[in-house]
Chain A
Amino acid sequence: MADMIQLAAASTRTATLEARGLSRAFGKTTAVDGVDIQIVPGEIHALVGLNGAGKTTLMRLLLGMVHADAGTAVVHGHEVATCTPDDWARVGHLIEAPFAYPELTVTENIVAAARLHLLGRADAELAARQAVTALALTQWAGRRARVLSLGNRQRLGLACALVHRPSVLVLDEPTNGLDPRGVLVVRKALRDAAERDAAVLVSSHHLDEVARIAHRITVMHRGVVIGHLDPGGVDVERRFFDMVYAAEPELPEGVQ
């Protein structure tokens, strides 16, 4: 109920992260085709889709990592190409590889990420200690990133994305490689971010997990938005596949 009230309040607010008709092709393959999406403060907005649906490319377009062939990405009210350092200082992201330099310790990596978001040295060190605790990394705080497991590297990347308390958070498959305890840690971190009014865009293959935390779910397929799912509805997986079947009846063997 609290989530519904929060979403209703959020839906009347201005988006802090927005795609307006975004398109991008790589050669003859269209990765993202005319996508519109808005994420408002306090909202966890999930992107779901099969591999190659265009989720990661859309996130990269929103963060200026790749250039759009058409359309506009807007962050904090500014087109991505004209974003100021102040705009970017309030953005956190984890797209594929985490911010994890193998020669640095966990704490050093997080402090470096905080400083690159313009926190002073003392503030960065304090924020890093809090992030280490929040992401349950205390045991590995002094260890070099090269010795971390895949799951702990992922949590380190999340700590680096969250350490400066961003108001826009973009996470691609944040629960990749995490054990069940790690999934709970991430779930809490995302909810905390939304509760302090951050706009959160997250992609995932785990439909049940998405249904637990997201306020809105957008389904992508072959670069286009094919619909939305109600996170509170029943059997999210079946409704997801119904939507994908409708968009493309001839799915590969094993999917149907």
Chain B
Amino acid sequence: MRTALAVELLKMRRSPVVAVATATLSLLMPALAAGFMAAYTAGGDSLMTAKVSTLVTGSAWSDYLGLMGQLLSVGVLLSVGVVVCWVFGREYSDGTIGSLFALPVSRARIAWAKGLLVLGWGLAASVLAAIVAVPIGLTLGLDGPAGLGDIARAVAMAVSVAVLTTLLALPLALVASAGRGYLPGVGVLLGIVALTQIVTLLGAGAWFPWAAPGLWSGMGGPELASSVTAVQLALPVGVGALGLWATAAWWKRAEVV
């Protein structure tokens, strides 16, 4: 497993796709949250302020970091989803999958290594986003001197939302593999984003795993956020584990053609 992890880590480190996704998560997400908070605290009757008012109800640190958690629930699904599709689908798009046969390191092990590295990268990028958000927040003039405990809780919430969402992106590995390229995975990713909106509107709420982290982060308002249960938040763990296991099983059995 160590060999598979080392080789796959090298590919990810050199990948422009991963570099762009890391920048999107760790820089763009905090910047967007800060921009939205600035629009909220500026007040007035602009369209932007009106829209942001549906996402935040105050201008404290917990509101700012909570807003970033909401943004991460969408941003992580898109960014990690694209990375998952690329990491698995590129072996088919680039034609390198044949090189992964007839090796002492099994393809199932390589698939697990890819999935675990994406999970680790998603966690690292989310933590980085939370760290970057703190100094940006200091420039916003947020209400009151925030206690360390408040910030820590809000950061933990944002990172938890990001990790849960990362897990929800893992089944795309199976789509990209069975579809023999990253584009089928990206297509399904966009479908999941749209379906999540529809299912949420229809009232399925957090029982739809892809909606749970967003609702928990407050995207549907404080009332819906507090109604999300631990079981519903555990669903993404099952979805991620099942997706990765199914992908590894597929890689073990699938032919090169």
Point out residues on A near B: beta carbons under 8 Å: 26, 60, 63-67, 85-86, 88-89, 91, 93, 95-104, 108, 112-113, 115-118, 160, 170
**Who on chain B is nearest to A26 by CB?**
B257
Tell me how far the C-beta of B109 lies from the nearest C-beta in chain A, rounded to whole angstroms: 10
Q: A97-B94, A103-B15 are in contact. Are A63 and B101 (CB under 8 A)?
A: yes
Q: A103-B15, A115-B3, A117-B104 are in contact. Are A98 and B256 (CB under 8 A)?
A: no
Q: A65-B256, A97-B95, A103-B16 are in contact. Are A88 and B11 (CB under 8 A)?
A: no
**Who on chain A is nearest to B18 by CB?**
A103
**Who on chain A is nearest to B104 by CB?**
A85
In the bound assembly, the distance between CA atoms of A116 and B106 in angstroms comes to 9
Q: A102-B94, A115-B7 are in contact. Are A93 and B255 (CB under 8 A)?
A: no
Q: A63-B102, A103-B14, A116-B105 are in contact. Are A96 and B7 (CB under 8 A)?
A: no
Q: A60-B256, A115-B3 are in contact. Are A85 and B95 (CB under 8 A)?
A: no
B46 within 8 A of A: no
Q: Which of A65, A89, A101 touches B98 (beta carbons < 8 Å)?
A: A65
B96 pairs with A101, CB closer than 8 A? yes
Name the prevailing secondary structure of the B interface residues: loop
Question: Which residues of chain B come closer than 8 Å to A160, judged between CB atoms?
Answer: 99
B14 pairs with A104, CB closer than 8 A? yes
Q: Which of B3, B16, B95 touches A118 (beta carbons < 8 Å)?
A: B3
Question: Which residues of chain B come closer than 8 Å to A113, judged between CB atoms?
Answer: 99
Question: Which residues of chain B come closer than 8 Å to A86, judged between CB atoms?
Answer: 104
B6 pairs with A115, CB closer than 8 A? yes
Residue from B11, B102, B103, B256 with most neighbouring chain A CB atoms (10 Å): B102
A96 pairs with B95, CB closer than 8 A? yes
Q: A95-B98, A96-B95, A96-B98 are in contact. Are A117 and B103 (CB under 8 A)?
A: yes
A103 pairs with B11, CB closer than 8 A? yes
Tell me how far the C-beta of A104 lies from the nearest C-beta in chain B, rounded to whole angstroms: 6
B230 within 8 A of A: no
B96 pairs with A99, CB closer than 8 A? yes
Residue from B4, B14, B104 with most neighbouring chain A CB atoms (10 Å): B104
Enumerate 26 A-B pairs (CB-CB under 8 Å) in ascending A order. A26-B257, A60-B256, A64-B101, A65-B98, A65-B102, A65-B255, A66-B256, A86-B104, A88-B102, A88-B103, A88-B104, A91-B102, A95-B98, A97-B94, A98-B99, A99-B96, A103-B15, A103-B16, A104-B10, A104-B11, A104-B14, A113-B99, A116-B7, A116-B103, A116-B104, A116-B105
In the bound assembly, the distance between CA atoms of A191 and B15 in angstroms comes to 37
Q: A85-B105, A118-B104 are in contact. Are A100 and B96 (CB under 8 A)?
A: yes
Q: Which of A66, A118, A170 touches B257 (beta carbons < 8 Å)?
A: A66
In the bound assembly, the distance between CA atoms of A99 and B101 in angstroms comes to 11
Known: A93-B102, A115-B7. 11 other contacts (CB 8 A): A63-B101, A64-B101, A64-B102, A65-B101, A65-B256, A95-B98, A95-B256, A100-B96, A101-B11, A102-B94, A160-B99
